[in-house]
Structure 1
């Protein structure tokens, strides 16, 4: 008889990736070849889908709304609804806020100060390792922190990585939103 494998330590963590709302959205287009993966850029995949389907501007706009709703649903499922302190603390740790805030109000204030693109956070969560103890969560090195809103705006415009506030239903997600459009 071979010895039983030792169970993983609770702090070692396990990969979190499970297909989510975004993957279901892509898979709902049956003529589109898509395999759920934690490493794919969801925005590049949406652009590939639009090209594959030959959508015109009106259809692309309609589908973008469905896609954004899927992003919000997945973000809320992965990050949390924001009703629990641990949701906010985990987000704070993932984006590199130190020291760890001890209340939801403190978390919101610290997170609001950060200039981070929401899609970077979503991709970090799609590649995350589950860690039970929030103190053991490590900051994600893939999340780019910008010095100011102007830098974030420039990057977001260049890469077309906007997330419209109308789609941000999850309250944790709202904590990351910044006004990035140029005023006319």
Structure 2
């Protein structure tokens, strides 16, 4: 009796012909549709599904549009990321909220809130109270920067910075991230505002220090140089520019 392919209801002259039919016929193909690949057997398909990186389990944070390799990594992100700590008062929140008669709106950029505070308090340059407040504001900015952009040996911190300035695709190592952002000119207060807002748009960057200086003077988005130049923070070590010879 001639061998038969039961699913196809076809007969063949030999077992060799039948086996060739099973290997090449689309009716017997074992397809991985996401990869657009075809396999010769169910076992081969299952092995592909088990071991291919394209089918590795992914644990996603929909709010941040990020994926993690394990549930533990996702839970750690949800626990530690400032974006998910909505009930936590940030350093800037604490600073602005310390002025009891000032109506503070956390959704506004820090520079806007500080300008509103100055008008509310009627501060003028040279006023001692204004000087003390400026120092506290700058310290709050520095603490906020550390919160949103971590240590330079932390790939997650580098990736936050890369997303902020529009580096795509995200580099795979800290060293590659450093190469990608090394010559970037960006306003530090804008970086802090980006972290606070959770915006998907990238932060504005500039061609050179002169262009950044003009923008900073015009907008009043001033981040005072900290004295500690050995900071391990991603931004302070790699993006802080000396744009003013004198303090403003």
Give the equivalent residue in structure 2 for 1:143. Answer: 203
Residues 12-161 of structure 1 mapped to structure 2, 5 A cutoff: 12-13=62-63, 16=84, 18=86, 19-37=89-107, 40-56=108-124, 57=126, 58-128=128-198, 140-161=200-221
Give the equivalent residue in structure 2 for 1:180. Answer: 243
RMSD of aligned residue pairs (Cα, Å): 2.6
Distance in 2 (alpha carbons) for counterparts of 1:83 and 1:60:
37
What CA deviation, in whole Å up to 9, does each residue of 1:88-145 have, x standing for no partner?
Answer: 122112211234333323323332311111122111111117xxxxxxxxxx425112
Tell me: CA distance 1:160–1:31, structure 2 relative to 1, closer, same or farther (3 Å).
Answer: same
**Bigger fraction of residues in strand:** 2
| 13-22 or 143-152, larger mean C-alpha shift | 13-22
Distance in 1 (alpha carbons) for counterparts of 2:93 and 2:155:
28
Distance in 2 (alpha carbons) for counterparts of 1:154 and 1:181:
10
Distance in 2 (alpha carbons) for counterparts of 1:36 and 1:178:
27
CA drift of 1:82 comes to 3.2
Whichever of the two has the greater Rg, that structure is 2
| Equivalent pair of 1:17/1:126 in contact (CA under 8 Å) | no
Tell me: CA distance 1:114–1:64, structure 2 relative to 1, closer, same or farther (3 Å).
Answer: same
What CA deviation, in whole Å up to 9, does each residue of 1:15-42 have, x standing for no partner?
Answer: 64734110111111112222433xx021
| 164-173 or 144-153, larger mean C-alpha shift | 164-173
Give the equivalent residue in structure 1 for 2:23. Answer: none
Q: TM-score, normalised by structure 1?
A: 0.75
- Count of matched residue positions in the alignment of Structure 1 and Structure 2: 163
Q: Structure 1 regions of 5+ residues with no counterpart?
A: 1-8, 130-139
Of structures 1 and 2, the one scoring higher in RCO (CA 8 A, sep 6+) is 1
Q: Structure 2 regions of 5+ residues with no counterpart?
A: 1-58, 65-82
| Equivalent pair of 2:141/2:223 in contact (CA under 8 Å) | no
